Amino acid sequence: MTLNKKWLLTLIFAAFVSLLAACGSDEGESAEGDNNKDEQKQEEQASEDSQQQEMPKPDLEGVPDVVAKVNGEEIKKAEFENVYKGQFQQMAMQSQMSGQKVDQDKLKKQVADSLVGQELLIQEADSRDYKAPQEEKDKKLEELAKERQVKSTDEFLKKLEEQGMSKEEVMTQVGTQIKLDKLIAEEAGDTEPTEEEVKKAYDQMKAQQEKAENGQEVPAYEEVKDRLKDQLKQQKESEATQKLVKNLREEADVTVNI
């Protein structure tokens, strides 16, 4: 699979790298109802601060041409660098707030492991008899365009074409993403949280916000119920994905050169 064919998957998997890198984090951290607006404000503040402070730069010296091999499939340097730069930018913004230097060696290992996990999932999805009908591809493409605030799928495809991807390549990768979604859904099973689980997540969020003493009013349960449900569903999918990747990696022929 060439870099060009994986470009869209890299785009789709923007959050996936963080998901696998956080494999060791405890369940409480995953389940907590963090306020997304607070995180956005922090990132915006970090962005403003970065204008006054020199932002650190990603150190890509010494990255090998082949970062890893997964059952004979190569993960190339260019693909790794594309993902690493995005993750480093996020970490650098956080470091501006915390004052803690980015551990680039650790981040490189996390990104490499995450790309290995991504490749293992792709290979596993390809080995199962999942289908990706055209109507599902069209729907997924609309979702991707909407997520990136592009007015239409035609405009989205045009932007991707400018990046060197034909419509055929895009639709192939959208089909792969659909199969991955089905793979994760099958592994995760019923991810619908119970009312008790949602209320527990709310209580955790409320306790953390009160402990922070930031003066912000804790939103009512009904106001955040749906968002908490989504977070809990994502957590269950994350746990299932991590477990699957771990099992696949134990049986796979994997070499990481970082």
Cβ atoms within 10 Å of 250's Cβ, excluding its own: 8
pLDDT number for residue 229: 96
pLDDT number for residue 38: 54
Quote the tokens at residue 70.
């997964």
Token pair 């109802």 is found at 33
**Domain assignment of residue 112, yes or no:** yes
Domain residues for 232?
Answer: 3-129+195-256
pLDDT number for residue 184: 94
133-147, pLDDT tens digit by residue? 999 999 999 998 998
DSSP E strand stretches across the chain = 66-70, 73-76, 254-256
Cβ atoms within 10 Å of 208's Cβ, excluding its own: 15
pLDDT number for residue 246: 95
Cβ atoms within 10 Å of 87's Cβ, excluding its own: 20
DSSP state of 76: E
pLDDT number for residue 148: 85
**Domain assignment of residue 161, yes or no:** no
pLDDT number for residue 42: 56
Asked if residue 112 lies in contact with residue 258, where contact means CB atoms within 8 angstroms, the answer is yes
**Domain assignment of residue 43, yes or no:** yes
Token pair 């771990």 is found at 246
Note if the pTM is more than 0.95.
Answer: no
Residue 9: half-sphere exposure toward Cβ, Cα within 13 Å: 25
pLDDT number for residue 23: 42
Nearest alpha carbon to residue 58 among 32, 100, 22, 92: 92
**Domain assignment of residue 153, yes or no:** no
Digit-by-digit pLDDT tens for the chain (258 residues) are 333 344 455 544 544 444 444 443 444 444 444 545 455 555 555 555 544 456 788 999 999 999 999 999 999 999 999 899 988 998 998 888 888 889 999 999 999 999 999 999 999 999 998 999 999 999 999 998 998 888 899 999 998 888 888 999 899 989 999 999 999 999 999 999 999 999 999 999 999 888 877 667 889 999 999 999 999 999 999 999 999 999 999 999 999 999
Asked if residue 155 lies in contact with residue 145, where contact means CB atoms within 8 angstroms, the answer is yes
Total number of domains in the chain: 1
3-class DSSP assignment, residue 50 = helix
Q: What are phi and psi of 254, to 5 degrees?
A: -120, 130
